[in-house]
Each structure stands twice: as C-alpha cells, then as structure tokens.
C-alpha cells in the first residue's frame, strides 16, 4: 500500500499528536486514578463525573470549550499568549491538547481498575515498616498497577488517533499542522476523485488501532506474568 506525501504527512502527524497526548496526560491520569481509588473527600463524585464528562459530551462541544478557555482570546489562552507568546490555537500543540482531553477518561478508567485490584494491606504493611507514602507508591502500588497503566496508555493512544470533532473545532484543518488522519480523510472524502486515498487512510487507521490493541494485550500479559499473575 503506497501512500502519497500528503497521506504520510497526516500519518506522521497523527502518531506525533497521539504520542505526545499520552505522554503529557499520563502523570495526571495516574494521579487522578489514585485519588479516586484511595482518597475520600466531599465532592469526589463530582470530580469523577467531570473526569469522565468527555466520554458523553459531543467532541464538538469539547472543542468549543477548549477554544473559549485555551484559544488566543480565551480565559487562559490569552494570558499564555501575552506572557509567553505561546498559543494552542491553530497549531499541532492544540491538537495534542484536544486529543489528550478526549482520551483522558479512558486512561483514568483503565488505571483506576488496576489500582482497585491492589491490596491496600500491602501498602499498609510497607508503611508500618517505615516506608514513606511516596516510596510505597513507587515501589508497591505503581508496579502492581502496571498492566492497567499499559492498557490505559494504549486505549488513550488509539482514541487520540481517531480524534476528529474536538480537533477540527479547536485548531481547524490545516495541512501539515493540524491535519491528522481523520481530518485528512474528511478532506479527501470531500474532494472529487480522492476516494482511493481516503480508503488507504481508512485501512491504515484500522491497522494502527488494531496493532495498538494487540500490543496492549501482549504487554499486559507479560506484566501479569512478571507480577506472578
């Protein structure tokens, strides 16, 4: 399957955006999952609902909210531009942000389920032996949660590859800058005579997503074997 330069550009940009979206959101995803599992406080249900809100909101709504908050004239985005000369609007940075927001709930859910399976008695035993909370987390809790973390990473990556609505609303459809695989397919579908190129990108998107899921399953199995599961 030979791809044109236009198609390769969209593929490489999609991989770049999806990879950075996962890397940037992973620390926060682990933190939010740990808070939801191990902490009790007023408003916990509200926090849980807010984290999972992108799962039920139309992606276009998410893109509009990002535009209002993080756009060049947005509440936060305007200050970022005035103070640092940096803007998420109409750039691949904005595509990364949109993908991270949309995929974040899937990451948190997978990591949360894995953390819930960690026996709190193991953590308590380590603390009674003098280990600090940070050491307990990084030597016991996190290693035992690795399978869920891996699943969360791959699910978020696959979801980012397919992100369309929030991206096109927030950062538009700019060739070489924000035109990922879904946006490139949208453009090709609207272009007469470009059906074959759209079909190639469709097949490639399916293969990439399938490969991500297979790799996720393989890594999760290896992690469970190492942990004695």
Place 215 in a pLDDT band, splitting at 50, 70 and 90.
confident
Of the pLDDT bands very low, low, confident and very high (cuts 50, 70, 90), residue 24 is: very high
**229 pLDDT above the threshold of 60:** no
What confidence tier does 190 reach under pLDDT thresholds 50, 70, 90? confident
pLDDT confidence bin for 57, thresholds 50/70/90: very high
Closest CA to 208 of 36, 20, 31, 11: 11
Tell me how many domains the chain contains. 1
For residue 175, give both structure tokens: 């060739």
Residue 213: predicted pLDDT: 82
Mean per-residue pLDDT, 188-217: 86
What pLDDT, on the 0 to 100 scale, is given for residue 227? Answer: 63
Burial class of 129 by CB neighbour count within 10 A (0 to 12, 13 to 18, 19+): exposed
CATH number, domain containing residue 180: 1.10.3720.10
Residues 6+ apart with CB under 8 A from 55: 105, 106
Boundaries of domain holding 15: 5-226
Place of tokens 């609902």: 49
Q: CA distances (Å), 177 to each of 13, 123, 159, 211, in order?
A: 8, 46, 19, 25
| Reported pTM | 0.89
Q: What confidence tens digit (pLDDT) does each residue in 94-126 have?
A: 999 999 999 999 999 999 999 998 888 888 888
- Of 24-33, 56-65, 150-159, 206-215, the least confident: 206-215
Residue range 69-92, pLDDT digits in tens: 998 888 898 998 889 888 898 899
Q: What is the 3-state secondary structure (H, E, C) of the chain?
A: CCCCHHHHHHHHHHHHHHHHHHHHHHHHHHHHHHHHHHCCCCCHHHHHHHHHHHHHCCHHHHHHHHHHHHCCCCCCHHHHHHHHCCCCCCCHHHHHHHHHHHHHHHHHHHHHHHHHCCCHHHHHHHHHCCCCHHHHHHHHHHHHCHHHHHHHHHHHHHHHHCCCHHHHHHHCCCCCCCCCHHHHHHHHHCCCCCHHHHHHHHHHHHHHHHHHHHHHHHHHHHHHHHCCC
Helices 92-116 and 59-70 meet at what angle, rounded to 10? 120
């Amino acid at each position: 399957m030979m791809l044109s330069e236009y198609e390769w550009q969209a593929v490489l940009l999609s991989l770049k955006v999806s990879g950075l979206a996962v890397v940037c959101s992973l620390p926060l995803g682990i933190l939010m999952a740990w808070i939801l599992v191990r902490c009790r406080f007023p408003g916990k249900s509200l926090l849980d609902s807010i984290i999972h809100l992108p799962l039920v909101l139309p992606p276009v709504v998410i893109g509009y909210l990002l535009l209002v908050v993080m756009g060049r004239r947005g509440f936060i985005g305007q200050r970022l531009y005035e103070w640092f000369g940096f803007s998420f609007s109409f750039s691949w940075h904005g595509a990364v942000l949109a993908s991270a927001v949309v995929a974040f709930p899937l990451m948190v859910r997978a990591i949360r389920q894995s953390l819930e399976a960690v026996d709190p008695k193991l953590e308590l035993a380590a603390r009674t032996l003098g280990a600090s909370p940070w050491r307990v987390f990084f030597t016991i809790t996190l290693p035992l949660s690795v399978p869920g973390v891996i699943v969360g990473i791959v699910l978020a990556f696959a979801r980012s590859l397919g992100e369309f609505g929030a991206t096109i609303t927030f950062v538009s459809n700019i060739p070489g800058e924000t035109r990922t695989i879904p946006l490139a397919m949208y453009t090709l579908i609207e272009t007469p005579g470009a059906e074959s190129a759209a079909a190639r990108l469709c097949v490639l998107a399916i293969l990439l997503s399938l490969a991500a899921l297979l790799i996720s399953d393989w890594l999760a199995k290896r992690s469970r074997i190492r942990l004695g599961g």
